[in-house]
Structure 1
Amino acid sequence: MPTVKSWRSHAISHSLFSPTTLKSAVERLKFVQADPIRSPARAQDLILRQRVENYRVSDLERHYPNLNIG
């Protein structure tokens, strides 16, 4: 029986790009809206969680200065 995780993976792989690095995801998306409201989660974390391998909350803020993008 399919799990929620397998359905999520299937939906992502058929509608978005495969999980990648943080830098590649931001470059491909062209922008990520930063949202200070954390309920249920900030927009950038929701967007990047499905697109970046092993993404964790606030990775964008931690790594952005070293990504050399934009």
Structure 2
Amino acid sequence: EDYHDYATIEARKKNVEMHWEYLISLVTKRRQCLELAYNLQRVFQVKRIIGHFDLVTNLSLFYYLGNAIYI
């Protein structure tokens, strides 16, 4: 008997659409946050790798200079 209650069906449909749009906005914001965190992590990784290469280069130079002095 209530299967043809058009107003209730439309209200539920709008409610579902509203929640769907809200969910999409939350997922979009979460994705942006994760992308920012990922990019920041990559920057720190590159800085760490460059720092490691600088350290190895400096140690190699000191080792080379040390051997040159003792030869």
- Measured against the shorter chain, the TM-score band is under 0.3
TM-score when normalising by structure 1: 0.19
Whose relative contact order is higher, 1 or 2, with alpha carbons under 8 Å and at least 6 apart? 1
TM-score when normalising by structure 2: 0.18
Flag the structure with larger Rg.
2
More helix by share: 2
